[in-house]
Structure 1
């Protein structure tokens, strides 16, 4: 009997190969042949799943976002309780910081796509399409926290989201260049969140 191929799994394998190459050497020199070799399949198989290099890169970029989201979800659900808005924002921001090998590889791959986007309109469109959705989601979360009285007085949810992700990008660049340690980068994000969110009072117990 011929072996049944999981086509979606094969597409993800190809995307993983693209992301490894992007993190190591950028995207400008990545070819279908290199991707096939990295994935351990034939170039014809790569072309079977992706008609063009742009199609392949677009899928890889989507896979990068899903991979990061999966790690964030796993961290948030590890405790078993429903996360607070502060914890959701905190975990999401810290997961993007390149503090370990998975997050470092993801961030470097993201930089490779950013560099390509400067000269390639399709990639630029994919990147710019995602930013408003990201900001809107987190601004909505901060609005929810604000309605519950959990944000500092006068905080503008949308501007706070812009500031937070600008800070994450800045700290990530500093980490990659060795300008700060992972501990310092995390402490900076925590410092910002401590100023943004009001402290939660511990429940009063009778005894």
Structure 2
């Protein structure tokens, strides 16, 4: 009896290959054939699961989001209900502090460059950013001791800050510890200096 193939597992394998190619080479000239070579499968197999590169790219974003969520669920700082700890845990996932997050950070840079000319991919990135900004702003409101900034303004600033810090860490312009210290300083602006500091 032929072995049953899990379509989601196979699509995830191909998405992983795309992420590795994106981190290494960028995305502008990457084709389904390149992804097939990276995954060690035929181009026909890739086309069986994804009609276009953009469709595969959007699925790869789902894979990354699921992995970030899994790491958050494993993070002891998310076990409580302190809003500052929750926001810090989320934003730290966007910094390239280990091999997995470094790969995801390089992919994020490649995706933003690619999305400049691809409306479908750009729409998905905007949707993800809106959702994250809304979640961070809600946690700032829930803190009950907000800093001097409007929660929406603070959330926008924190997300923009972390994206910039990630690029600086990836480029070797900033050490990881300095990036974390900068993030904590801006969390003081969002939540007020009396907010609970996270455990290191």
TM-score by length of 1: 0.87
Residues 81 and 66 of structure 1: is their aligned pair in 2 closer, same or farther, counting only changes over 3 Å?
Answer: closer
Q: Matched residues in 2 for 1:156 and 1:80: separation?
A: 24
Shift of 1:200: 5.5
User: Which range is displaced more, 33-42 or 98-107?
Assistant: 33-42
Are the equivalent residues in 2 in contact too, given 1:15–1:59 (CA < 8 A)? yes
Name the SS for the 1:71 alignment partner.
Answer: helix
Structure 1 unmatched runs, 5+: 202-207
Residue equivalent to 1:68: 68
CA distance in 2, matches of 1:50, 1:3: 21
Q: Which residue is equivalent to 1:165?
A: 159
The 4+ residue runs of structure 1 with deviation greater than 4 A are none
Tell whether 2:128 aligns with 1:151. no
Aligned residues: 195
Most deviating of 91-100 and 78-87: 78-87
- Give the TM-score taking structure 2 as reference length: 0.89
The answer to whether structure 1 residue 107 and structure 2 residue 105 are counterparts is: yes
CA RMSD of aligned residues (A): 1.8
Instruction: Mark the CA change 1:41 to 1:169 in structure 2 (over 3 Å): closer, same or farther.
Output: same
Deviates more, 1:36-45 or 1:192-201: 192-201
- Residues 137 and 196 of structure 1, relative CA distance in 2, 3 Å threshold: closer
SS of 2:93 mapped into structure 1: helix
- 1:127 is displaced (CA, Å) by 1.3
Larger radius of gyration: 1
* 2:55 corresponds to 1:55: yes
1:204 corresponds in structure 2 to: none
Aligned partner of 2:169 in structure 1 is 175
Find out whether 1:90 has 2:88 as its counterpart: yes
**Unpaired segments ≥5 residues, structure 2:** none
**Take 2:93 and 2:129, find their aligned partners in 1: how far apart are those partners?**
17
- Quote how far apart the aligned CAs of 1:112 are: 0.8
Is 2:18–2:35's contact at 8 Å kept on the other side of the alignment?
yes
C-alpha distance in 1, partners of 2:128/2:178? 28
1:175–1:181 contact (8 Å) kept in structure 2? yes
